[in-house]
Amino acid sequence: MNDAEHEPDKGSGNGILWGSAIVAVGMVLSAAAYAFIVRSSGEKNTEGSLAAVSSTSALASLQEEVTPAEGVTLPAAWGNLGQQLTAAGVIDEAQFKALYARQGGLPQDMAQMLDGSNNGQIKMTPQNAGIILNMLWALGLGNRNPILESGPMENPHYGGAGNFASTGGWTLAAGNAMNHYDMHQFVTLTAAQQSLVEQVAQGIYRPCCGNSAYFPDCNHGMAMLGLLELMASQGATADQMYKAALTVNSYWFPDTYMTLAEYFAGKGTAWSAVDPKTVLGAAYSSAQGYQQILSEETQPPSGQSSGGGSCSTS
C-alpha cells in the first residue's frame, strides 16, 4: 500500500471515522512497541549491571588471592635483626623513624620489628609492605655475602658498587651507605645454604628492572637478597623461598601481579595453581617480560595502589 490509499476523504463522514480508527490503532501499537523497547532495554541494563557486579566481585576475589588483606606470614623469623641493624648503623634509627613520622608514625608491629629482641616470623600486609621492604633492604645491603663481594655489583663495567640505586639510594644509614655495604655478619650461611641462595636469586626477577636478585642493583633486589639469606639460614627449601618471594613481590608490585593473575586466569590457570618459580622468571617478572605480557592483554590492568613499588626509601 501507499500513503494515498490511507488518506481519508475530507468530504466524507465515513472517511473521518476510518481515519480516527487508524489513528487509534496506531497509538495502541506505538504504546505496545514502546513498552516492549523499555522492557527489553531494562533487561539488557540489568544483565549489564549483573555482569559488572560479577566482574567486580571476581576481581575482588582474585585480589584477595594475590595480596590477602589480612597479610601473609613468611617462613622467616626476624628475631633481633632490627636491633642489630641499628646498632651497626646500617639503619639510623632516628632517620628511619623520622621518615615514617611524616606518614603518621611506625605501626606498633613495625616499631617492634625495629626495636624488639624477640620477633617471630615476618608478617607482610598491604599496609606494612613498604616498611618491611626498607628493613630487608638494609639487611641485604649490610650483610656480608659473596654475591655482593664478587657478583655483578662489583663488575668494573658499572664503575663500582656505589653507583646503583640499591646503594646510593639508601639514605637511612648512619654515614655513607657504602661504609656498610657487605660489611656485617648479620646472617651466617653454610656452603650449601650459600649455593641455594645463589641458585634461587638468579631465578627471581622484579618488574621495576631487568635484573634478578643475584644482581641487586635496586632496593627490591637488595631486599629480596636479604630475605633469601635469612630464609636459607633458617633451613628454608628452594620451593619455600620461591613461594615467599612471589608473596613479597606481589605486595611490592600489586598492580603487576594482579595483571599476571588475570592473565593466567584467562588461560584457565588459577593463581593458586601457578608455579612461583615460573612467575618469578624473566618471562613474567622482569620489566621486559611483563611488558610483553601487557602487549598480549586486550584489557588494561586492574588498578591497585602500590605497596612498595618505588625504588627509593619514601
pLDDT at 309: 57
* Residue pair 243/276 in contact by the 8 Å Cβ criterion: yes
DSSP state at residue 154 = G
CA angle 76, 82, 88 (to 5 degrees): 125
Which pLDDT does position 96 carry in this prediction? Answer: 97
pLDDT for the residue numbered 107: 96
In this prediction, the residues of the chain whose per-residue pLDDT falls under 50 are 1-54, 301, 306
CB 76 within 8 Å of CB 244: yes
Q: pLDDT at position 307, please?
A: 56
Buried b (16+ CB within 10 A) or exposed e, 235-266: ebebebbbbbbbbbbbbbbbbbbbbbbbbbee
Say what the pLDDT of residue 286 is: 98
Do 201 and 161 form a contact (C-beta atoms < 8 A)? no
Query: What does the pLDDT read at residue 240?
Result: 98
* Residues 260 and 293: beta-carbon distance below 8 Å: yes
- Residue 312 pLDDT: 55
Query: Residues 6 or more apart from 22 whose CB is under 8 A from it?
Result: 6
Helices (H), 152-213: 165-168, 191-201
Question: Residue with C-alpha cell 641493624?
Answer: 85
pLDDT of residue 37: 34
| pTM assigned to the model | 0.80
Q: Are 306 and 125 in contact (CB under 8 A)?
A: no
Residue 308: predicted pLDDT: 55
* CA within 13 Å, CB half, 88: 24
